[in-house]
Chains A and B, each alone.
Chain A
Amino acid sequence: MDFKNRFSSHWRNLTQMLIIMKLTAVLLFLISFEGFSTETHAQNVSLNLKNVSLKKVFKEIQKQTGNNFLYAVELLEKAEKVNLVVQNASLQEVMNKSLQNTALTYSIAERTIVIKSIVSEREVEAQAPPIFNLVTGKVTDDQGQPLAGATILVKGAGKGTKTDANGSFSIDVAPNSTFVISYVGFENTTIEIRNQTTISVQLKPAIGVSDQVVVIGYGTQNKKDLTGSVSTVAAEKLNQGINQSVSHALQGQAAGVTVIQNSGEPGAGVEIRIRGAGSINDNSPLYVVDGIIGGIGSLNPSDIESMTVLKDAASAAIYGARGANGVVIVTTKKGKRNQKPTVSYNSSFGNQSVWKMPSSLDATQRNLIHKEALTNDMVPGTETIWNYYNNPANAVTRTDWFKEVFKTSTISNHNVSVQGGGEKSNYLFSLGYLDNNGVVLGTNFKRYNVRFNSQQEIFENLTLGENVSIVQSNSKTAEIRGGYDGVLSAALFNMRNTPVWADQANAIYGTPTGDFPNPVASLNARDNKSFGTELRGNVYLEYKLHNLVTFKSDFGYNANNGKNTGFQAIAVGGGRGLENKNSLNESRYNSSTWIWNNTASVDKRIGSHHISGLAGMSAESYLWEGLNGGTAYDFTNESRALRYYNNAGSFPNHVTSGADDNTLQSYFGRIGYGYADKYLFAANFRADGSSKFGPTNRWGYFPSVSGGWRISKENFFAGLSSVVSDFKLRGSWGQLGNDKIPNYQYYTTVSGVGSPTLNGNAYIAVAQDRLANANIKWEVTTQTDIGIDASFLNDQFTLTADYFNKLTTDILVQVPLVASLGVGSAPFRNAGDVSNKGFDLGLTYRNNKNAFKYSITANAASVTNKLNSFGIAGSKDIYAANYKNTDVGRIAEGEPLGHFYVYNAVGIFQTQAEVNAYTKSGNKIQPDAVAGDVKFEDRNGDGVISASDRFNAGNSFPTLTGSLSFNGEYKGFDVSMLWVGSQGNKIFNGLKLGGVFMQGTGYNNSPEILNRWTSTNHSTTVPRVTINDPNNNRQFSTLYLEDGSFARLKYLTLGYTFDKKVTGDKISKLRLYLTMQNLITLTKYTGYDPEVGAEGSFGNNLYGLDKGTYPISKAFIIGVNFNF
């Protein structure tokens, strides 16, 4: 077969077809002259051309911007040669200039610049009648600035003109003509001419034209006008693969925004921290979705259009209250005006598995270690404990618990959306489905999302719009982290000679010998489910008065309903907690929030002055109600259909219920002033009243100011413009508030405290178990930020860098009380101050010039955190983050929040002589130690090892967090990847207790223990094995701390987009892709996963306390994007 010939003939046909298609396209463009949606690219052009043909000009522009030109050759041949000198001008500017003295105009669509005659051929045919009036006019932009080079076309007359440098034009037209006025970047405007001879036209900027518009608090702003520190992430930049939540999708995308995955558990939350931790309490940022404050946990990531992170005080100040930890603004996708209905279908499917399979000692190794420990402990041979190890049946390895617990599972995600719009309205409807089966046996998370939004211009200048979303989520969770019931600890600590099943036919599990349950039995028997439905929506009315003031009233409502049920079936032989009784606990809750924002805003350019302002008020109300049914027991039938209280045999508890509510009322304003786009200034003020504080301290007042200087706009900078395209210096100062404490803290309450058994029955009991502080007030963060935004070499390089200094004062903290006050929880108090200083840096390099287009982005951030003072006389330390009833973290003056506070293990005593030589005033410092035991540092030099020898042994916060992403495309192929990582943080590996330090004969150990100290193996990190542990080797010391630095390839995606020539006109996009999530993890950390979230009752400040984290899974996903 002559393949080559066939191929080439096909190829010829295809080429011919393409040429025809091209011409058809040209015709289509020409016919639909008015209807072009245009799009500018942020690409600037510098030219120095004298007396050249337009063709040459276009070639040069093509070279610099990557835009293609489409034109009929004859058109250009008629045109005269031009002179063109521009420096770093926008594409529109250059195009307008080059066509200034021609009868040509242009439009930009999909990176293609189409050159047309002002008078289209069709219109030439329909010649106009021969009576003319001279009409003169002026075309300006929405700010009243003249537009030079705007095209005025007389509809049906086959003629037209352009405006001069002052935006003026004149043309002879027949009466009753229609002008169509167009200018790139603005909406086309149609004006009917009756008898007027002068007209004035103001063009509206086209919606969605510029990708430089940034969503900010209660409005938008051009990126070039920003004076605060703001990061934006567009939808296409969000993390690829299947993201369980919007937060997951944000990881690594913005400098200074740290996304901490607590757990890889399906449905588990993610924490976002912006610029460190200011508060001892809740440090999560404020989330705003489509203008309404509310959580983002349930949002479907594929509904996101863009996310903006407000990092500094000046940007967040408009949200005053609760903006102290930064603000994440999420904008969902919307339909566009004049858009034909477009259907997008995205579907992906994959499987996931644990990125690293942990291991534990097999039965033989366990025997070796445990017998050695018994020998070291001098347990007499007569004690029965030896029998277990001497029984050969117990030396047989029957199970690898980790392989029983961690399974490869499937994950899938499907989204479909329809969007479109007419002249005065637009809409979008989307459906989403996520099914995430966790890597731990039986765990699952399913979510269904429905979203609808639309916008209608119901009268002139009056727009009505709404967003509605309904989310339903179901999850089945496992006991992952429980101190004793946790299946991951159980997998490590259970003996491997125990079989999963003792008698599978009769459903009898292999019974563990220790305190832990059989993890498979636990996963099978515990049916913990949660179910939630969320309805969220907002409706708004926007009115523009005299094209000057925009009023907006926006009402949002959010209702949540949910229930959690935990049923525990009897698992015969399953061990701890599983054998005896079945039980059911069911709780239900509903919550609702409404929020009403009203704003009036102005944005006006007068000459070189740009003035903007905003005034508004907001009211917000939250109510939660919950009911807990208590635990019921003794179900005679465990069938799923009967897992309700009605079928319980006994019900010894009371039902409890309660409610929680709060309100917030705010007034705010912003003024902005810019001169010549060069000098920028903004000021914000917000007053917030919170129901969480008593009447006298209720109101907080939060001001901010910021300024910017676009040095690159200065004349003296012109010489550098070929290298530095844009350079802006920013500075800001502002104050923000934080009221994230539980409600009603200024009241003393008498509340339910369990129920004692009196006269044989449960008795209702109450107590005043909490002290109040009537004087608590707002926690205030004052932040100063200095930053630069710069771009170089025609925007090939862009750089954003910020230094910030945050000082949080009057921190709200629960200083622990002495127990002799007899209350369960300490009152909140306004204590001293915490400082966070650091920088964030974002750097992007793009290359769009060649067929291989790519960009590389690097983000890095560093924060240094310190508790400057406690501010409460006599208080100096708060101990935090309890693990197995012992604190491992501390909050102390002069130290970073949340450092580990443990003993300093300085080595292993190699000989008894070393023990004997470790003395103070002739007395042994560790009298109970023998060779092989841990040597602890006597830091206070008092000759004994006691609690006061603990020290700041390392920070749980990284010194540096960062990410690196790469995106490239070549002829339909695309590749993208993202690396995220942290450096310099410590993790407390809790599973070393039991894993490496013996906790008793009931516990298996991790393989690391094989490197224990013996008389022949002089280990320096793992002490001798001992259960009695007279030297307390197992007490929390630096031996538990590990370097938590890691780098993880969050995703790697390979995609191919089919050419339109192949897919045809009906299909606008067809892309297939393969994504690998968490493919590579580089870390020295030996625990399950280096991404360990927060723990501890004192806020979320102590990260990195690893109690056996649900590891993040590695996934291979294939998917398709299909638009038509």
Chain B
Amino acid sequence: MNTIKQNISIFMMLVFLASCNKDFLDKQPHEFTDAVFWKTSEQAESALAGAYTPLQDEEALGGEEWCAIEAFGDNGYMQDPYGDYVAMAEFRATQNNEGDLSHNSYVSYYKTIKRSTDVLNYVPTITMDATQKKRILGEANFLKSFAYYELAIRYGGLPIYDSKNPAASLVRKTEAETWAEIEKGLKEATTQLAWDHEEGRPGLGAAWGMLAKVYGYEKKWADAKTAAETVITSGKHSLSTNYADVFSIEHAHDTEILFGLGARLDEYPITPVLMLPNNVWGGTHPEPMGEGWRLVSATNAFYAAYQAGDLRKAATVAKRGVDVITYNGSTDVLIAPNNKSEIVCVKYNAPYKDKYVGWAAGLNVPALRYADILLIATEAIMNLNGGGPGTTSGVAAAATHFNKVRQRAGLAAIAAPTFANLMYERRMELAFEGGDRHFDLVRWGLAASVYNSLPAEGSYKPARTYTQATNRLLPYPQKQIDNSNGSIKQNPGYLGPK
């Protein structure tokens, strides 16, 4: 017995000492830590892919907010009762308490900004193929500037992310500083990207094109002209033959798309369903009901604004009881009884023609098109020739670029287009593609005169009062002001810290 006792005592002692292993409490995450990441070209590629991901979020590029922003202009209206968002779109909001579309898209764009910045910081240190590295840095620069651009046109000056200085994220830069940052990234991208690019990625055309658009916002017309014409004269891009083709899966590779968000079936983005009414045939043909989101639709006024013979009309809108559309294997007159207006936006309906294929129909989102660049070139030339907003004289020098867009739409060429002609082309060409109509009117200073004179249309598009000093920018997301404890300031004219 005594031996047993002794043995047991010794055993117990050992037990007490056994787990005093020094490493026992060291647990490594089962993911890359910063210390072991950023070493290979594959890691650089996957980190760059990480910067693309937020763009396909439900409220970001091609998502709900991107579609809903059309309601700020005079082309569309919000069909869903997102009260806070509608209040902003009707210029009634005193704050931005919209926690869904507006706030989530803001969050998504900043994720792209942060991740692109990380790529720009770390990838230069990786030993890898120089061409590949250049492309990766170029794409990161483009994505970063693109995301800042989408936020800047909405909110004005922005916090500029700086990985070494987190405090920078708590303070908004001025609008000029923000645009300078956007410009800087795109300029760098023009030195890094190549004309050839994969679907879903930007190439040199996108970098120059985006830069042209940014110069347009900055009213740097000579630079805008140069940048736009760099794309035009490259010979790498051209308009698709038919306007409607641009919004089809089959033409995803057309060179008209300078930058488009890649889509895959059943995943993201969900742009097509956001525009689709939830009862297209009103029960007259079999169709899956409850599936169309009908977040945004077009106004009767927009439908009426098309010039006769404009081929873009049928590709963009359809009128209840009048227009024939093809959906889910049926071709018939549109009914859509749940649509508040008589007009439905059909621009993204192509994937549903034969069969309803779900929310994520696999259609890429056109984020930057060659047609847009042609019109920016037109606008730059007009401005350089005394033909800016508010003018009525025609500018013949702008006709070449201008008429490429116009003629594809089946309309007669104009020898010396006026600014009003340009306004029409931009509105009809870019309708329901991320709110260009509204942002154009704002930067031209014409929003008040256009919006305030519009009569109410039905219960869904009331008469609005736009004030340039306040409404040229959206109210800054309130949650961000709150989370910064007020160091992020509100835009002029809205409630909050100034």
Q: Which A residues form the contact surface with B (CB < 8 A)? A: 377-380, 383-385, 387-388, 459-460, 462, 511-517, 543, 545, 551, 553, 573, 575-577, 579-581, 596, 598, 600, 617, 619, 621, 631, 633, 650, 652-653, 658-665, 689-691, 695, 698, 743-744, 747-769, 816-824, 874-877, 879, 882, 884-887, 928, 942, 944, 946-948, 999-1002, 1027-1029, 1032, 1034-1035
CB within 8 A of A824: which of B111, B358, B478? B111
Q: Is B479 on the interface with A (CB-CB < 8 A)? A: yes
Q: Which of A747, A751, A820, A877 contacts B110 (CB 8 A)?
A: A820
The yes or no answer to B444 lying at the interface (CB within 8 A) is no
Assess the B56–A817 pair: CB atoms within 8 A.
no
* A766 engages B34 (CB within 8 Å): no
Determine whether the beta carbon of B50 is less than 8 Å from that of A757.
no
Would you call B340 an interface residue if the criterion is a C-beta within 8 Å of the partner chain's C-beta atoms?
Answer: yes
Known A-B contacts A744-B27, A944-B94; the reply to A820 vs B158 at CB < 8 A is yes
Contact B49 A691 (CB under 8 A): no
**B24–A652 CB distance below 8 A:** no
CB <8 Å contact, B110 and A819: yes
Interchain CB contact (< 8 A) of A885 among B47, B100, B356: B100
CA distance A633 to B358 in the complex (A): 11
Contact between chains at B267 and A767 (CB < 8 Å): no
Is there contact, CB below 8 Å, between A652 and B30? no
B132 contacts partner chain A, Cβ-Cβ < 8 Å:
no
Q: B49 and A947: CB pair below 8 A?
A: no
Apart from A755-B49, A767-B51, 5 more pairs, CB < 8 Å: A580-B357, A749-B29, A749-B32, A755-B53, A759-B262
Interface check B310, CB cutoff 8 A: no
Chain B nearest CB, measured from A165 CB (Å): 35
Q: Is the CB of A380 within 8 A of B458?
A: yes
**B1 in the interface, Cβ–Cβ < 8 Å?**
yes
Cross-interface CB contact of A750 among B8, B33, B357, cutoff 8 Å: B33
Interface residues of B in 67-109 (CB under 8 A from A): 80-81, 83-84, 87, 92, 94-95, 97, 99-100, 103-104, 106-107
B337, CB-defined interface residue at 8 Å: yes
- Known contacts A743-B27, A749-B33; decide if A886 and B99 are in contact (CB<8 Å): yes
Cβ contact within 8 Å between B16 and A598: yes
Task: Give a binary string over B122-161; 1 marks a CB under 8 Å from any A CB, 0 the rest.
Answer: 0000000000000000000000000000000000001101
List, in ascending order, chain B residues with CB within 8 A of A511's CB: 289-290
A619 to chain B, nearest CB (A): 4
Task: Enumerate chain B residues within 8 angstroms of A757, measured Cβ to Cβ.
Answer: 56, 200, 261-264, 267-268
Inter-chain contacts of A598 with B (CB < 8 A): 12, 15-16
Q: How far is the CA of A979 from the CA of B414 in the complex (A)?
A: 85
Specify which of B1, B114, B261 is in contact with A821 (CB 8 Å cutoff): B114
A819 touches B106 (CB 8 A): yes
Which of B52, B252, B290 interacts with A765 by CB under 8 Å?
B52
Which of A513, A818, A947 sits near B170, CB closer than 8 Å? Answer: A818
Given A743-B27, A1029-B81, do A928 and B169 touch, yes or no (CB 8 Å)? no
Q: Is the CB of A579 within 8 A of B290?
A: yes
Q: Which of B204-212, B391-399, B429-437, B481-489 is the interface stretch?
A: B481-489
B459 interface hit (Cβ, 8 Å): yes
**Among A515, A631, A658, A663, which residue has its beta carbon within 8 angstroms of that of B266?**
A631
Give A768 to B115 CA distance when docked, in angstroms. Answer: 8
Contact with A along B460-493 (1 / 0, CB 8 A): 0000000000000000011110111101100000
Cβ-based interface call for B113 (8 A): yes
Q: Which of B282-311 contact A (CB under 8 A)?
A: 288-291
> Within the complex, what minimum Cβ distance (angstroms) separates A811 from chain B?
18
B290–A517 contact, CB under 8 A?
yes
Q: Are B337 and A768 in contact, with the CB atoms below 8 A?
A: no
A759 and B198 contacting across the interface, CB-CB below 8 Å: yes
From B169, B252, B291, B358, contact of A818 by CB (8 A): B169
Q: Once the chains bind, are A751 and B31 in contact (CB under 8 Å)?
A: yes
Do A763 and B110 form a contact, CB below 8 Å, given A659-B30, A816-B483?
A: no
A839 to chain B, nearest CB (A): 36
Residue of A nearest to B19 (CB): A619
Cβ of B95 and Cβ of A946 under 8 Å apart? yes
The 9 closest A-B pairs by CB, nearest first: A822-B114, A757-B262, A767-B50, A579-B288, A575-B290, A765-B49, A756-B52, A744-B29, A885-B100
Q: How far is the CA of A1053 from the CA of B97 in the complex (A)?
A: 52
Question: Interface 1/0s, chain B 3-24, versus A by CB < 8 A?
Answer: 0110011011001100100001
Complex: A440 Cα to B105 Cα, angstroms: 37
Whether B118 is near chain A, meaning CB under 8 Å from some CB there, is: yes
Q: How far is the CA of A551 from the CA of B26 in the complex (A)?
A: 29
* Chain B nearest Cβ from A407, distance in angstroms: 24
Given contacts A576-B290, A750-B47, contact A379 B459 (CB under 8 A): yes
Give Cα A713–Cα B430 distance, bound, in whole angstroms.
91
Residue of A at shortest CB range from B47? A766
Complex formed: what's the CA distance from A652 to B267 in Å? 8
18 A-B contacts, Cβ less than 8 Å apart?
A383-B459, A384-B320, A513-B290, A514-B290, A553-B12, A621-B24, A744-B28, A744-B29, A749-B33, A752-B31, A753-B50, A758-B198, A760-B200, A762-B267, A766-B49, A820-B170, A822-B115, A1032-B87
Complexed CA–CA distance, A661 and B30 (Å): 9
Tell me the minimal C-beta distance from B384 to chain A in angstroms: 36
Q: Mark B365-406, 1 if CB is under 8 A from A, else 0.
A: 000000000000000000000000000000000000000000
A756 with B262, Cβ < 8 A, contacts A514-B290, A822-B161 known: yes
Flag B241-282 by CB within 8 Å of A: 1 or 0 each.
000000000001000000001111111100000000011000
Q: Which residue of B lies closest to A459 (CB)?
A: B4
Cβ contacts under 8 Å, B52 to chain A: 756, 758, 763, 765
User: Is A543 within 8 A of B8, CB to CB?
Assistant: yes
User: From residue B104, how far is it (CB to closest CB) to chain A in Å?
Assistant: 8
Contact of B55 with A by CB under 8 A: yes
Min Cβ gap A693→B in Å is 9
Complex CA gap A596/B18 in Å reads 10
Please, how many angstroms separate the alpha-carbon atoms of A1028 and B49 in the complex?
A: 41
Q: Select from chain A the residue with minimum beta-carbon distance to B485.
A: A874
The reply to whether A579 and B12 contact each other, CB–CB distance below 8 Å, is no
- B residues within 8 A CB of A751? 31-32
Query: Does A580 contact B356, Cβ atoms closer than 8 Å?
Result: yes
Is the beta-carbon distance between B266 and A652 smaller than 8 angstroms? Answer: yes
Complex contact A768–B118 (CB within 8 A): yes
- With a cutoff of 8 Å between Cβ atoms, the chain B residues found around residue A662 in the complex are 27
B379, chain A: closest CB distance, angstroms: 31
Q: Which residues of B contact A573 (CB under 8 A)?
A: 289
On whether the beta carbons of B94 and A765 are closer than 8 Å, the reply is no
Closest A residue to B1 by beta carbon equals: A460
Q: Is B495 an interface residue (CB 8 A)?
A: yes
B264 surroundings in chain A (CB, below 8 A) = 652, 757, 760-762
Q: In the assembly, what is the distance between CA of A596 and CA of B24, in Å? A: 13
Is A819 within 8 A of B107, CB to CB? yes
Residues in A neighbouring B424, C-beta threshold 8 A: none
CA distance A754 to B268 in the complex (A): 11
Give every chain B residue within 8 A of A596 (Cβ-Cβ): 15, 19
A412 and B343 CA atoms in complex are apart in Å by 57
- From residue A688, how far is it (CB to closest CB) to chain B in Å? 10
B337 and A691 contacting across the interface, CB-CB below 8 Å: no
Min distance, Cβ B353 to any Cβ of chain A, angstroms: 15
> For the complex, is B46 an interface residue (Cβ under 8 Å from A)?
yes
In the complex, how many angstroms separate the beta carbon of A905 from the nearest chain B beta carbon?
16
Measured between beta carbons, the chain A residues less than 8 angstroms from B340 are: 383, 385
A619 and B24 contact, CB distance less than 8 A = yes
Contact B15 A553 (CB under 8 A): yes
- Which residues of chain A are near B449, meaning CB under 8 Å? none
The reply to whether B8 and A462 contact each other, CB–CB distance below 8 Å, is yes
A947 to B110, CA, bound (A): 24
CB distance from B467 to the nearest CB of A (A): 15
Q: Does A1035 lie within 8 Å of B81, measured CB to CB?
A: no
Given known contacts A765-B52, A820-B159, A1027 and B95 CB-to-CB distance under 8 angstroms: no
A residues near B50, Cβ cutoff 8 Å? 753, 765-767
Cα separation A621 to B1 with both chains bound (whole Å): 35
Q: How far is the CB of B356 from chain A (nearest CB, A)?
A: 6
